[in-house]
Amino acid sequence: MRGRTWLDSLQRLGIALGLPRTRAILRELGRPEKAYASVIVAGTNGKGSTAAMLASILESSGYRTGLYTSPPLVDPRERWVIAGTFIDAPLLDASIDDLRLAAARARITPTFFEALTLIAFIAFRRAHCDVVVLEVGMGGRLDATNVVKPIAALITPIGFDHMEYLGTTLRQIAGEKAGVIHRGAIVLTSNTDAAIVDVIRRRAAKFDSELIVVDDEHDTPLAGAFQRRNAALAVRAAEALRPRLPRITPEAIERGVRETRWRGRLEKLRVGGKDVWIDGGHNAHAIREVAPFIERELPRPRVLVFGIMKDKDVADVVRMLFPLFDRVIATEPYPPRSVEAASLAGEAVPDPKEAIERALRSDARSVFIGGSLYLAGAAIEYFESQPQRAGQQQKR
The answer to whether 265 and 370 have CB atoms below 8 angstroms apart is no
pLDDT at 390: 57
pLDDT at 395: 38
Domain ranges of the chain: 3-258, 267-384
pLDDT at 391: 53
Q: For 309, phi and psi rounded to 5 degrees?
A: -80, 150
Chunked into runs of 10 residues, the chain (396 residues) has average pLDDT values of 87 90 98 98 96 98 97 94 97 98 97 97 98 96 97 95 89 97 97 96 97 96 92 98 98 97 93 95 90 96 97 93 97 94 95 97 97 95 80 42
Q: Pick from 344, 224, 228: which is nearest to 287 by CA?
A: 224
CA distance linking residue 120 with residue 92, whole number of Å: 9
pTM: 0.92
CA distance linking residue 202 with residue 46, whole number of Å: 23
pLDDT at 389: 59
Q: What is the pLDDT of residues 93-102, one digit of tens each?
A: 999 999 999 9
Other CB atoms within 10 A of residue 180 CB: 27
Just give the CATH number of 3-258. 3.40.1190.10
Helix (H, G, I), strand (E, B) or coil at 267: strand
pLDDT at 393: 45
User: Residues 6 or more apart from 308 whose CB is under 8 A from it?
Assistant: 282, 314, 317, 338, 339, 344, 371, 372, 375
The answer to whether 259 and 72 have CB atoms below 8 angstroms apart is no
Query: Which overall architecture, per CATH, does domain 267-384 show?
Result: Alpha-Beta Complex (3.90)
Hey, do 3-258 and 267-384 end up sharing a CATH topology, with the first three levels equal?
A: no
pLDDT at 387: 67
